[in-house]
Amino acid sequence: MSVPTAATARPDEPARPAPAGAGVAQDGLRAVSLPGLTRQTYRITLITGDEVTLTRDGGRYTVTAFPTARADGTHPTIDVTVSTGPGGTDARLHALPSDAQALVTSGAVDRKIFDVGWLAARLERGENTPLGVTAKFGDRLDAAALDKRVSGLPGATTAAKHPDQGTVDLRVEPGRATAFWAALRGTNSPGGLSDYLFGRVTPKLGGGAVAVWPTGLRSERVAPQTDTGQPKYRVTQVYKRKNGEPFQCGTLLMTICPIFGFQLVQVAGTATGSAYDSVSARCLDSDPCTTFEATFEVPPGTYEAGGHAIFRLDGREQQLNLELPEFTVTGDTTLTRDADAARELTVGTPRPTETFIGSRITFRTYGDGRGGGTLSFTGYGNSRFWAIPSAPVTVGTFHLGVNWVLGKPMVTMAVTRPKRVELKATLPAEWYRRPGWEVARFSGRHTLELVDAGLGRDADLSRVDARGRLVLVRIDAAKPAGGQCQIGPAQLMRARAAGAAGVLVEPISTGGPWPTATCLLPTEPDWWYDESQEAADIPYASVSPREAENLRGLLRRGPVKIDVSGYDSVSPYVYTLHVYHEGRIPPALHTQVTDRQLVRADTALHGTQAQPASLIYSAFRPNETAVAGVPYNYLTDSVRFTTYRGPVSPDLVRNQFYEPFGGEPGARSVDVTDRAGPATTRWTARPLVPGVPELSPRVFRSQPGKWEGDWSTEVCGFCRQGDTFYPLTFLVSGAQPDHATGAYVFEPENLHLYADGRELPQAGSMIWGATYELPAESRRYRLTAENGTTTTAWTFTSGAVARDEPPKGFLCPEGSGSPCRADPLLFLRYDAGTDVGDAVTAPGRHRIRVTAYHQVAGAPAVRSVDLSISTDGGVSWKKLRVTATGGGNHTASYQVPRLADTTGTVSIRARAQDAGGNTVEQTVLDAFRLTGRR
């Protein structure tokens, strides 16, 4: 079974047992980002239904957030705030969705509910589900009244009632958290923060609740900021945007809408690290509000200011970072932030791209070594990030960056008649074919005539000839046609029945509670929010209201033809870029990358089940302990495409995670892109056999000390610590030996250790499964193990450990309590050169590469490798002639017969020996597949 690798815990925290299958807490180590957490991966469902994943790399974590669509079709922005102590230790994380900000700021919802560290610690203790929260409904309500209130909160069950306090302890099932949150938040929206800040409108919870907090973990009343004995000065920050599209922000009409609150943090002075929230905020004009101010009371010192807002441009939501990295307060201070001066963070690539998804990160260190940052997560269609230029910082460090996943535009459109006009057509947000949420996409290249079909009703379509044409429609929100801002399947299916080749949607809603409302792009289908509806199988895209009106103007003058080009598959190329601006927010935020700055990796996702999978990308600057992961979701295995990684940077450690759904093994890699050029990436190519991954030495050179020792990325395999031998391993592919699958623990009954011909008794670790207690004197051992259809036998010598020397990049299984060392086992791995379906053709001649290797430096040289194959499931074997090519690598050529004369697979039997007498014998039945010639 696979289990995560180990993490470390703070020495001042009491050790507690971790559940089986988790990593192990280690005393005496401080280089850790989230104290007490030991698992490799945590998948956390927030009370809002949004998901946050933590994936450990050494003492650091990649944070990936997945906003969940709300019932009204909106997707929140999720801000993850990171705080660290001196040296980057003891980080704390809070993941706050934008539609919870007003409720948290006002105190109706306790911020601890969004404490990712606390939520992960629940998983650590085995408290996977459900989430325990306490809701207060009033004072001294009887049990019947409390039951009635709780009945309005779907997805929650009552654990305990406290009538004397008017509270109920609830258990919220993660699978129904979205519905629970929809009822709990009532009518509050992201714009509710502006109502609270500027209109003094206190947000109210739904269901009659007045407050919610984690059961048994309510925050104390907020204490005053550090009293430095110095005078307090008033800091006034004025934010303005005169050139914006007014839109509804709560009950206000605004050109810039704050969705996360305002805060100042002292970066140098007598209260370094102290945070100060705004004491007041107000709009300075109205209808719309184009200028507002926030005021603070702080002691003298050097500060940074934070905040997050949105504005709209051409029907699309824009994410505005209000970060001001540094300013000094020596008296009352007024700062004016001009959002019209904001610049968009963009990137140019050698090939045409659109943004699939992106995450923004800011990270600031203070004068005393502490620091913090904000990771902002959005969904497809909303990954447009802006920032206001600033002066350079003089204290600590600062960087602003974006992690991008870009690919070939899924659809492009341009008017070709009567004149050429480029259109910014967008597809629905769930572009990655989430199972059950599929939307037909345009495929191939076509020139289509455009017709205007109004609301797409029968009467509208009867007035035009839609056959083979592109039909322009507005959103019909009159039920049961569609949603307020979603295209209804009835509209699409009527267009399909009329013979239309596709639909172009103008995001103007007609009908519903807000007729003629302008909706945000991209336009989503209503069946995503009403599962009883049938999905329409006609492709559609949406354009902005301005573009739609321009098209109607062209139609009034004559025929309009549109060139449409698209594809209905995985993008043939993907850019995974990590772009940073150091020391300040510069006046220009566009970055152009060239092929000379990029690694061009031929990327294959191996597998045979065609199940969805995710690739997640992240990167660590030298001073970061938690960073944003960017997912490329709902890929399928058995696909191949080109990945462009970069830009090259010698001190940036890049991480990639392959996460298939359905229980198949995933993998991850940690590397440095310090030089451009070609590369290959093969995710989980078979066969996967016991071994250890080859960690890149470039990582250790890139950030010395950060990815070794206490910050190591993996647990030591087949390691002896004191007198305890830990037969841990990894599943390793010879096609990609640097990929780690997470530590693998053999089932105890499949593991046997012998000395002098006698089997030794097993001991046991709650974390690492079977272990063995060995005598101090050096002895010869034979270890046999089975995992699946693979059987392996090792002979090796083990004796007392004189000093602590785990392989570089690996941690001792039980921390630093006693020295450990990897025993000199000899391993094998195989690269069969299979296709993405893990197959080779039959009949045919093929080559296989087998590598014999150790995980310890200075191990005895490999002396011999023998290799045999079987095409009848191991009934008969054919020995191959093996040629050594250096470095433990060997190759062999072999012939397979017709597919009908085989069992459809190739099995492997191998044996290797080194100069020290250590041996490995391994049989892998059905190691890879055979397929007939095409």
* 330-385 tens-digit pLDDT: 999 999 999 999 999 999 999 999 999 999 999 999 999 899 999 999 988 889 99
How many Cα neighbours within 13 Å face the side chain of 419? 6
Residues of the chain with pLDDT under 70: 1-36, 87-90, 128-129, 221-225, 430-435, 479-482, 512-516, 662-663, 710, 934
pLDDT recorded at residue 260: 94
Tokens for 853? 């290797």
Other C-beta atoms lying within 10 Å of the C-beta of residue 90: 18
Beta strands in 477-629 (DSSP E): 486-487, 502-510, 517-518, 524-525, 540-542, 561-566, 573-582, 590-592, 599-605, 612-620, 626-628
The predicted model scores a pTM of 0.92
Provide Rg for the chain, Cα atoms: 30
Is the Cα dihedral 458, 463, 467, 468 positive or negative? negative
pLDDT recorded at residue 4: 33
C-alpha to C-alpha distance for 894 and 869, rounded to whole angstroms? 8
3-state secondary structure of 577: strand
C-alpha to C-alpha distance for 543 and 534, rounded to whole angstroms? 24
Rounded alpha-carbon distances, angstroms, from residue 762 to 365, 726, 727, 770, 783: 49, 11, 11, 6, 12
C-alpha to C-alpha distance for 607 and 838, rounded to whole angstroms? 6
pLDDT recorded at residue 481: 67
